[in-house]
Each structure stands twice: as structure tokens, then as C-alpha cells.
Amino acid sequence: MVADKRRSEQPRDVLGRAPSLADTLAARLREELASGRLKAGERLPTEQQLSQTYGVSRPIVREAVGRLKHDGLVLSRQGAGAFVADPKASSVFRLDVANFSDKGDLRHIVELLMAVEASATEHTAERHSDADLATIRARLNEMQAAIDRGESGVDEDVAFHRAIIDATGNPYFRDLSEFLDRRVRTFIRTARANSARLAGMAQIVQGEHQAIFDAIVARDPQGARAAAETHLKNAAARLAIYLDR
């Protein structure tokens, strides 16, 4: 495993990256499936045919079809062929956040994040263990310590929310909100970077955190949900400020 010394030179994938042939072919086939020209259970053209139709080699076709298989859209049997999978039976879900810079898109993401986090907070309020509570309290204190040190506390902020979500014991909540959180909060982080009003705002955020924590301690699900919702709503509002500049 050779280490790359120039870590700052992380390749920018989003822009400038020419899509590979397999990528474009996979996209076209996906379109073909979505359009309904190929129905569930039907057989796809053979790799040979596909390679001729689209003018690429068979390994490329294999790679493209392999992705569809990976995403649960097709199934293949050696010797028989590849078949369109029944969407009802598909067990994988794929979420693509393509154009994150788009403001409408960001709003949609935040809405989903709010739905998940508010519900998770509610659940945690009604079924947390003592150990869960101790962890959450520790994160809350760390956030305060970061603020006292004059830092933004964004990382501690994330950790606090994550502790709450983890306490639900629901891996789907955990994974989904971790993903959404990362997307939204890295956005916030970069947006905040040039801001001067950092210190005061962090303390306001902390106050909202305290309200959430108190409701959890009191085992008050409704209150916890409400506190989480206002917190997230405020966060979205604060975010909007930076978006408009």
C-alpha cells in the first residue's frame, strides 16, 4: 500500500471527470430499464449483442451490467442470461445527491435530515439506557468545552447528534443520518469559515442542544421531537443566511 504524499491534491471527481464508457453504458441501460421498455423477468440482450449495439467491447458491457446487478436491478445466471429483476424484490436502495450546490436540492436534503433526526430524537427520549445518556451528556460537555476554547465546535456538534441517533439502536437511522449529516454539515462548515459571528452563534446552538438533552433526560418524546425540530429549523435558517450571501 503506497501512501500518497500530496494529500491536498485529492482528485476532484465532481467536475472535469470524463465518464467512463462503462459508466455511460450503465446509465443508458438503467434508462432502458426505467423507461419500461424492458419489463421485469424479461431477458436482456446478450453481452455479445450489447457490445455490438453500443460499439464497445464485452468487458465494458460486463462492467456496466455488473453495476446494474450490484444495484439489484438485474440478475444473471451463467449459461442462461441476464434478467430484469423484480423491483419489489430488490433489497438495495441507492441515493444519489448529484447537484448539491443547487439550493432546492439542499432544501430537500435538509427536509429529509430533519425527518430522520427528529424521529430518532423522539425514539431516544422514550427508550434510552443510562449508558446512552452518559454518552450523550459527554458529547454535550465536549461541545461546551470547544466553545469555551473559542472553536466552532462543528465536529462536536456532529458527535452530539450522532450519539442521540446511535441510542435508537436503529442502524438505518444511523447510516442515513450520518450520510445526510455529513453532506449538510460539511456544507455548513465551509460556509461558516469566513464568518465572524462564530462564537455567539455556537453558544446559541449549544442552548438548543441543551433543550434537546433535557427533554431526553425527562423521557419526554414529544418535547424531544419539538426541541430537535426547532433546532434543525433554526440551523436551516442560519444556513440560508450564508447561502444568500
Q: Does residue number 237 form part of the binding site for its own copies (CB under 8 A)?
A: no
Q: Which stretch binds DNA (CB under 7 A): 79-87, 130-138, 192-200, 216-224?
A: 79-87
First vs last C-alpha separation in the chain: 44
- Identity of the residue, 58 or 127, whose beta carbon is nearer to DNA in the bound complex: 58
Q: Residues 33, 118, 159, 202: which binds its own copies (CB under 8 A)?
A: 118
Q: Does residue number 77 form part of the binding site for DNA (CB under 7 A)?
A: yes
Q: Interface mask (CB under 8 A) for its own copies, residues 45-74, using x and -?
A: x-------------x--xx--xx--x-x--
Q: How far apart are CA 104 and CA 95, in angstroms?
A: 16
Give the footprint of its own copies on residues 78-97 (CB under 8 A). Answer: 80, 83, 85-97
Taking the complex as a whole, the smallest distance from the CB of residue 67 to its own copies amounts, in Å, to 5
- Identity of the residue, 44 or 143, whose beta carbon is nearer to its own copies in the bound complex: 44
Q: Distance of alpha carbon 78 from its chain centroid, rounded?
A: 35
Q: Does residue number 33 form part of the binding site for DNA (CB under 7 A)?
A: no
Q: Are 136 and 164 in contact (CB under 8 A)?
A: yes
C-alpha cell at 185: 454539515
Q: How far apart are CA 164 and CA 124, in angstroms?
A: 7
| Side-chain half-sphere CA neighbours of 10 within 13 A | 4
Cβ-Cβ contacts under 8 Å for 41 (sequence gap 6 or more): 83, 84, 86
- Identity of the residue, 128 or 140, whose beta carbon is nearer to its own copies in the bound complex: 128
Q: Does residue number 57 form part of the binding site for DNA (CB under 7 A)?
A: yes
